[in-house]
Amino acid sequence: MNKDYYKTLNINRNASQAEIKKAFRTLSKQHHPDKGGDANIFKEMSEAYDTLSDENKRREYDTRGQNPFNHFNQNRGPNMDDLVNQFFGRRQQQQRPTKKGRGLNIPLKVDLEDVYFGRKKKIKYKRQVNCTTCNATGGQHHVCRTCHGRGSVQHAVGNAFFRQLHQVECTACQGRGKIITRPCVACGGNERVNKDNTIEFNVPQDLMTGQVYTFRDLGDEIKGGQSGDLQIQVVITRHPNFKVRDKDLIYEPTISVIDLILGCKIDVPSFEGSVMAQVPEGSDVSQSFVLRGRGLKTSRGPGNIIIEPKIITPKNLTTSEKETLKIVKEKNKN
């Protein structure tokens, strides 16, 4: 059964890219493993977002997922028997599922600068590939006499009146269907060998921490089946100057309340050189200041740097300074 990515993210099928991103961000706060959420649910959400946030992947998913006849042979059109079986609930003969190699999961930490500039990342990892020395047979072998090559045996459960048969893995051959008599010198009878692999990709400039990217068929190989997938879960490391809020960068400098009253200039760091920002005279304590276009670069346009000052009060004032402040205080009462 196909996964309903729209249902996973709790959005309509005509949702915009902004709505898709907002839905993923909202659900991430609830289900992210670092916040006590379920890792499997978060993985499903990330897979859904990975597909729907990419217009090409989304179009392909919509075409395949929403066409009720997409599993029929397109050259001859839908067969009437198939239609009758589908609409009247008759059981169809199911194809044996294709064997799939083990999937690999790799965590990747990136800096906020990597996201801003969309830098290229190179990841080296190990995967298991079919042994070419023995053609992934494991070496000289004979068919398992316990399961007759099936890799599983039937196990009966119940009594004389009611018995149920279960398929269980053959313990004699560990589900392989064969017994290795002389292991391959290259793979030691394991059928696969470890191989170094490298993948390169550009960090998306609208990346959100915890997002999972799937690379099809780059996991472990398996004889007579399809290679597993490689999944990379990306985490943005904490930045010393900025917090991230959607596509905006939040900068929180510390300034004195006196600077807020008299006005001052703040040297604001950015990824393309520092910028001088002016705090107007008499600014409010809760006021924030915006440097437009200096935030993250996304497909929805650049974000901003939002300056949210943390106000401190002066310490160790002299008697003269305190008297001056008292005069100012009395004056402002009037």
Q: What is the pTM of this model?
A: 0.61
Q: What is the average pLDDT value for the chain, to the nearest integer?
A: 83
Q: Find, among 135, 145, 217, the residue nearest to 179 by Cα.
A: 145
Higher-pLDDT residue of 70 and 124 is 124
**C-alpha to C-alpha distance for 30 and 263, rounded to whole angstroms:** 41
Model confidence at 77: pLDDT above 80: no
**pLDDT tens digits for range 183-216:** 999 999 999 999 999 999 889 888 888 888 889 9
Range from 24-28, 121-125, 274-278 carrying the lowest mean pLDDT? 24-28
Contacts of 287 by beta carbon, 8 Å cutoff, 6+ apart: none
> Could you tell me the pLDDT band of residue 70, with boundaries at 50, 70 and 90?
very low
Model confidence at 63: pLDDT above 90: no
Question: Residue 154: its pLDDT value, please?
Answer: 82
CA angle 140, 127, 186 (to 5 degrees): 30
Question: Residue 76: its pLDDT value, please?
Answer: 42
Q: Could you give the maximum distance between any two Cα atoms of the chain, in Å?
A: 102
Of all residues in the chain, the percent with pLDDT exceeding 70 is 87
Highest mean pLDDT: which range of 52-56, 65-69, 275-279, 329-333:
275-279
For residues 291 and 307, the answer to whether their CB atoms sit within 8 Å is yes
Question: Residue 334: its pLDDT value, please?
Answer: 60
What is the fold, at CATH topology level, of the domain defined by 99-129+194-238?
Answer: HSP40/DNAj peptide-binding domain (2.60.260)
Question: Residue 95: its pLDDT value, please?
Answer: 52
Domain map of the chain by residue range? 1-95, 99-129+194-238, 139-183, 242-333
Question: Residue 109: its pLDDT value, please?
Answer: 92
Model confidence at 71: pLDDT above 60: no
Question: Residue 159: its pLDDT value, please?
Answer: 64
Model confidence at 41: pLDDT above 50: yes
Q: Per DSSP, what are the bridge partners of residue 129? A: 193
What is the fold, at CATH topology level, of the domain defined by 1-95?
Answer: Helix Hairpins (1.10.287)
Highest mean pLDDT: which range of 54-63, 199-208, 322-331:
199-208
Of all residues in the chain, the percent with pLDDT exceeding 90 is 40
**pLDDT tens digits for range 125-147:** 999 999 999 999 999 999 999 99
The predicted model gives 303-312 an average pLDDT of: 93
C-alpha distance from residue 247 to each of 23, 38, 205, 303 (Å): 15, 26, 9, 5
Model confidence at 311: pLDDT above 60: yes
Range from 14-23, 67-76, 223-232 carrying the lowest mean pLDDT? 67-76
CA angle 82, 86, 87 (to 5 degrees): 120
- CATH architecture entry for 242-333: Sandwich (2.60)
**C-alpha to C-alpha distance for 206 and 236, rounded to whole angstroms:** 12
Do the two domains 1-95 and 99-129+194-238 of this chain adopt the same fold? no
For CA atoms 197, 203, 208, 209, give the dihedral sign: positive
Model confidence at 323: pLDDT above 90: no
Model confidence at 85: pLDDT above 70: no
The predicted model gives 266-275 an average pLDDT of: 93
Question: Residue 68: its pLDDT value, please?
Answer: 37
